[in-house]
Amino acid sequence: MALRRCWRFAGIVPRLLWNSTVLPGASIPGGRGSVSSLVSTHPGCKISQLLLYSRFSSAPPSSDVSYEQLKQLLAGRKAVVIDVREPWELREYGFIPGSINVPLGQVNTALQLGPEEFKEKYGGEMPQQTDNIVFTCLAGVRSKNALNTAASLGYRDVQHYSGGWQDWVMHEQHK
């Protein structure tokens, strides 16, 4: 199966690239991790094929946002913050002020709605594909999935608050 995934790149990559050698642990252009991490997750692929895959992948580079960064983005209104938890979770535990609630199961559909329909259904402005979007959830798992969904739909500036609501509450209580 791994060979099948790699094989589709065979017609794209020049012969020179196929024979390239990269030292284990080397950084991958675009900040997507190390070569050894790619090789371990894609056995059977040549390193050059993996580098090409990482360069043209729709998945964004690592884009975690810290509590401090999120506070700055919210204060400057420089990002659309989307909380992907279920509505009952927000009612029971709370939410980040200024965030829009779009449950994870609805993210794909929601990001394809018209602006008016999005605003009517979710109560906030629909992000444009060029807007900075930060996804958040309880602890960073669902927000990472939402980030990948948005990236697959063509959104370029997507991030996620990996600490989620749990990290937010911890920082807010210490003030």
φ and ψ at residue 99, rounded to 5 degrees: -85, 160
- Residue 74, strand partner residues: none
Task: Using pLDDT thresholds of 50, 70 and 90, give the confidence band for residue 6.
Answer: very low
Q: pLDDT tens digit string along 55-106? A: 444 444 558 999 999 999 999 999 999 999 999 999 999 999 999 999 999 9
Q: In whole angstroms, give the CA distance from residue 16 to residue 137.
A: 44
Looking at CATH, the fold of the domain delimited by 67-173 is given as: Oxidized Rhodanese; domain 1 (3.40.250)
Percentages helix, strand, coil for the chain, rounded to the nearest 5? 45, 10, 45
Candidates 126, 127, 133; CA nearest to 161 is: 133
SS3 (DSSP) at 34: strand
Location of each CATH 3.40.250.10 domain in the chain = 67-173
* Run of H or E residues at 56: helix 47-56
Q: Say whether pTM exceeds 0.85.
A: no
Residue of 38, 81, 82, 137 marked active site: 137
Q: pLDDT tens digit string along 101-126? A: 999 999 999 999 999 999 999 999 99
Active site residue 137: yes
- pLDDT for position 62: 54
